[in-house]
Every structure is written in structure tokens, then in C-alpha cells.
Amino acid sequence: MNMKESKESGVQPELMPVDDVARLLSVSRRTVWRMRDSGHLPAPVRLGGAIRWRRGDIENWIASGCPPVRTAKAKAEGDR
């Protein structure tokens, strides 16, 4: 199924690009990148040079109140 077919049939793609995440959150693309960098968004998936978010991860994150996903310990380990 290609993107045109999925839009016509109403099927939502499992992986979302930054534009779709921004639209879902009603924020700018830049804000999505800032949220990702600061650990306030579920981790994306890297496919070659593309970065995508799992729709289920974003929906579950929203349903749980949009908590920060990276802990202080994980931030410290990421700084190494």
C-alpha cells in the first residue's frame, strides 16, 4: 500500500514523520525537534537518513499526559 492509497482508505501509517507529529501536537516542526532533544518526546526510529516516530508511542505518550520520557539518569548517561 502506498501513501496515496493509505490516505484514500483512511489507514494511518504506523511511522510518522516530523510534520505529522507536529500537526498531532499542534506545535511547529522546530518544537518537535526541541522536545526530542530535551527528552520530552518518545524516541524516534531512524531509517537510513529518515527519522520517524511510532504512532502508538506518540498516542500512548499523549494518553499518559505527555510526561518527560528521559530520566535524569538517562540524560547523564547520554552526556558521556
**CATH of region 12-67:** 1.10.1660
Q: What is the pLDDT of residue 9?
A: 63
Q: What is the pLDDT of residue 71?
A: 62
What are the pLDDT digits (tens) for 22-75? 999 999 999 999 999 999 999 999 999 999 999 999 999 999 999 998 764 455
3-state secondary structure labels for all residues of 54-80: EHHHHHHHHHCCCCCCCCHHHHHHHCC
pTM of the model: 0.73
